[in-house]
Structure 1
Amino acid sequence: MPAGFQQLGGEVIFSLRTVTGTFVLSVFTAVLGSLEFGYNIGVINAPQKMIEKDYNATWIERYGEPIPTGTLTSLWSLSVAIFSIGGMLSSFCVGFVSEWLGRKAMLVNNVFAFLGGSLMGMSKLCSSFEMMILGRFIIGAYCGLASGLTPMYVGEISPTSLRGALGTLHQLAIVTGILIAQVLGLEVLLGSEHLWPVLMGLTVVPTVLQMALLPFCPESPRFLYIVRCQEHHAKRGLRRLTGKQEVGDMLAEMKEEKRKMDMERKGIFYYSTSIFMKAGVQSPVYATIGAGVVNCAFTVVSLFLIERMGRRTLHMLGLGGMCICAIIMTTALALLESVPWMSYISMLSIFGFVAFFEIGPGPIPWFFVAELFSQGPRPAAMAVAGFSNWTANFIVGMCFQYVAELLGPYVFLIFAALLLFFLIFTFFRVPETRGKTFDQIAANFQHHSAGGMMDMDLDMDLDKPSTELDYLGDESIN
């Protein structure tokens, strides 16, 4: 067993006393980007009415008449969805940016966050909803890069045995940011008519903190050695992260991955308040905050289960639970007018949907995609995955309100059908990656993909001795 681990009751127990300060600082600093990502997802929700009121005031100031209802709906939908457009465009650049700048990409990315936060914070003072929309676009570009760079960096500096647990920190930081935004967005705090610009501008706080801390964090040793061929700097980074002077074994594993890489070719919270209102909840803002609490709580649950149950199992559990909750939610909302107590079932199903999301589909895909690929194609894979995610976010953010008006409660059946499809796909086509090195995962994935059918027995028995658990940082990646 590696230093810092004990075998107890068949479980691997990690001792925090053996974790270096540099490693903790590096992970904390990286996930500040995820916190800001979550904050900007949740911040737009609570003050919606106040922001729309200012949009109307600006329209009256310019044109001498109230803003048409359809125009206001379009402007608000654009304010929500353009965040995803920025994310779509920038996430597709993750591969190029990460290989060009490495860890420094996170530092440069903060320029987008500072500029976007400033534009949103100044939009009311300047009587410009265009500044608000542009700020949302730019902050979306920041989040698109952060959603790829953070899990990639954290995974690359993490030990194999903790890569899954630490990978969930990206999602935990996201949902924590959402919750912070929802609480601060209450009208009694910063969600008031005069203070909502402060709420929007607060996004620069984690930006400044991350910019101050990043210079003290080492570059990913895996990136330095495999991509940049800087063996000396990679060794120095490994020593800082692990606290060990002898890092030959770690470097040997990287050399093997580099050798194989050289032969490869390069390769729901936007409308949560309105959903609760339709469910008959009297105080939808507080119900939204309750969902945020569930978000955080079950992300923590996932953090503790991920290395025990495996990625694939938790992901399928989450997909199945979400599908069932979506069907229950549809039934409850359809019967709400004739059966008033169905509002409670609706709220419970929403909480259940959120809980199952955070058990698997929320945190796992962010780092799971990175695990499926070796260092060479990993940035490109993260870019494609990020682009797909942001595209889906844009479609939901832009279209949900219109589709919900057209289909009513049956809109959630669309989600249920998609979830069922993803569950079936995961069962037949997605491998387990728990306890495996990046090189083993890539080889196994390619082998079974070529065979056309995934092996259902890919789960690794952690009770058995494993050479890839012999050092901290052997799998040195949001």
Structure 2
Amino acid sequence: MAVLECHLTFLLLTSVLAAILGSLQVGYHTGNVNAPAKIIEGFFNQTWRDRYNESMPDHSLTLLWSLSVSIKDFGALLGCLGVKYLADSFGRRNSILIVNCLSVVGASLMVVSKFIESFEALILGRLLFGLFCGLVMSLNPLYIQEVSPTALRGAFATLNQVAFASGILLGMVSGLETMLGTEKLWNMMLSLSLIPALAQYLFLPFCPESPRYLLINKGQEDKADAALLRLRGSPEGVLAELEEMKSEAAHARPSVGVWGFFQKRSYRQPIIIVTCVNLTSQLSGFNAIINYSTTMFQANFEEAKYLTLGVGAVNVMFTLVAFFLMEKAGRRRLLLIGFIIIAVCNLLMTVVDSVVQMVPELGSLQVLLVFCLISAYELGPGPISWFIAGELFDQPGRSIAMAFASMLNWGGKFLLALLFPPLMKVIGGYSYLLFMIMAVMGFAFTWFRVPETKGRTFDEIAEDFRGAENLPLHNKNGFNTFT
């Protein structure tokens, strides 16, 4: 509590909350299209009928709807490519404001698509919004980590995931037929993301730019000092933070290109860590459940959509738990606990799925296992996979690292959304064994190779990797979580 009292100021909190409004938008458009899917498909079909005086063929309608849903993730993959240019050219805060216009334009196109009777406008809107997703989910943790004090860095970065999960739940609720998921109001439902988008334009311009960006990237020490003083509220500790930034700047190259990023010797181990943590997190089953939980529950429950709301609520609840535990338990411990629980849940779900037709009462156990898996994911692998890249790299490589991590995240989501339905048709519940294997791999890799970053400055973490071919991570005092 003393740490919070020392470092938590109103402006710091405002800066973090203003930034995560972007993640709230991303989550909202992730969760709001599942429930009204048939209604929006009906709009596609009616538009086609009005144009050509015939109904759209079923296979074409299915393909068009799949394109509409998946094009957001494809746009996100493309958006990741612009993170370095924006973040290093315009700054972290300004870049968030710039990309926010993609959200506004994208949501506006989705809204007007019904009025102008154009499903092309809805698809284009989701593509533009996807570009926003890929950019903002990298820029947000980048900005948050660089404005936060070391003692709160991980907890505040976790708020990005809290906002994302909260947006998913809000989207699920708004998409219900009893809310806005109706034939008359579905396009109004898609417009609600404009509220946090416009709120971001109201609050974020008054928040300071990242002091670390100002000092290390731009060489503007006076501006960095002023921004840091505004964020911390008092001169105590500001000098020490500035000295730590100068130390990092002294060791860092002025700039690192994409090719140089993958060639630089001191980046090799962090790249491997980011790759393994992100892929094992994304391919451990969470995204399959988020995308297809309603379908999973429909076999045994009439009101499956309300159980899906339960999934969304548990998702939010445990991101909040992760927020409070992140600076107490540390990254490594939460990753290890999360991965091992996910592995056990996937194993048990395989068993339950194989016998649930013979013993329908086990359907309730299946729901419980789904809730447990969601909880374990959000306890560690979920939030940490989004921000660990920002902690493992120095300032010149940090923006590329965040873009790389974001591409792995969105690529994993896209791959799982694409492969899970055919996997279920081919091997059924044994699909969960594949997810279990990924979770076990994530646990083993974390145990042997992932260092603890809790309570350590960026320069201290970078020192572990600097100029080393084989890194003696096991010799670091903070590496073994359990000692």
Q: Which has the higher contact order (CA 8 A, sep 6+)?
A: 1
Q: Structure 1 residues 343 and 95 mapped into 2: Cα distance closer, same or farther (>3 Å)?
A: same
Q: Structure 1 residues 212 and 408 mapped into 2: Cα distance closer, same or farther (>3 Å)?
A: same
- So what's the TM-score if we normalise by structure 1? 0.89
- So what's the TM-score if we normalise by structure 2? 0.88
Task: Quote how far apart the aligned CAs of 1:290 are.
Answer: 0.5
Q: Select the residue among 307, 313, 321 that pairs with 1:293.
A: 313
Counterpart in the other structure of 1:91: 80
CA RMSD of aligned residues (A): 2.2
Q: Select the residue among 285, 290, 295 that pairs with 1:274.
A: 295
Paired residues of 1:80 and 1:398 also in contact (CA < 8 A): no
Cα distance between partner residues in 1 of 2:241 and 2:10: 20
Cα distance between partner residues in 1 of 2:220 and 2:480: 33
Counterpart in the other structure of 2:357: 337
Deviations 1:332-384 (A, max 9, x none): 22222111112111111111111011101111122211001111111111111
- 1:113-124 counterparts in 2 under 5 A? 113-124=103-114
Counterpart in the other structure of 1:472: none
1:79 aligns with 2:68: yes
Counterpart in the other structure of 2:117: 127
Q: Structure 1 residues 243 and 420 mapped into 2: Cα distance closer, same or farther (>3 Å)?
A: same
Cα distance between partner residues in 2 of 1:451 and 1:253: 22
Counterpart in the other structure of 1:225: 215
Counterpart in the other structure of 2:304: 284
Cα distance between partner residues in 1 of 2:353 and 2:427: 12
Q: Select the residue among 159, 178, 197 that pairs with 2:149.
A: 159
Paired residues of 2:76 and 2:130 also in contact (CA < 8 A): yes
Counterpart in the other structure of 1:199: 189
Paired residues of 1:448 and 1:455 also in contact (CA < 8 A): no
Counterpart in the other structure of 2:371: 351
1:403 aligns with 2:394: no
Query: Which range moves more in the overlay, 84-93 or 325-334?
Result: 325-334
Task: Say which SS state the counterpart of residue 376 (structure 1) adopts.
Answer: helix
Q: Select the residue among 244, 258, 274 that pairs with 1:253.
A: 244
Paired residues of 1:106 and 1:149 also in contact (CA < 8 A): yes
Q: Which has more helix, going by share of residues? A: 2
Counterpart in the other structure of 1:375: 395
Amino acid in structure 1 at the alignment position of 2:242? L
Q: Select the residue among 163, 166, 189 that pairs with 1:173.
A: 163
Q: Structure 1 residues 441 and 288 mapped into 2: Cα distance closer, same or farther (>3 Å)?
A: same
Q: Structure 1 residues 133 and 250 mapped into 2: Cα distance closer, same or farther (>3 Å)?
A: same
Counterpart in the other structure of 1:474: none
Aligned residues: 451
Paired residues of 2:464 and 2:473 also in contact (CA < 8 A): no
Q: Structure 1 residues 126 and 381 mapped into 2: Cα distance closer, same or farther (>3 Å)?
A: same
Q: Percent identity?
A: 40
Unaligned ranges ≥5, structure 1? 7-12, 462-478
Task: Say which SS state the counterpart of residue 184 (structure 2) adopts.
Answer: coil
Paired residues of 1:119 and 1:135 also in contact (CA < 8 A): yes
Query: Which range moves more in the overlay, 441-450 or 346-355?
Result: 441-450
Q: Select the residue among 415, 432, 439 that pairs with 1:412.
A: 432
Task: Quote how far apart the aligned CAs of 1:271 are.
Answer: 2.6
Unaligned ranges ≥5, structure 2? 262-286
Q: Structure 1 residues 95 and 63 mapped into 2: Cα distance closer, same or farther (>3 Å)?
A: same
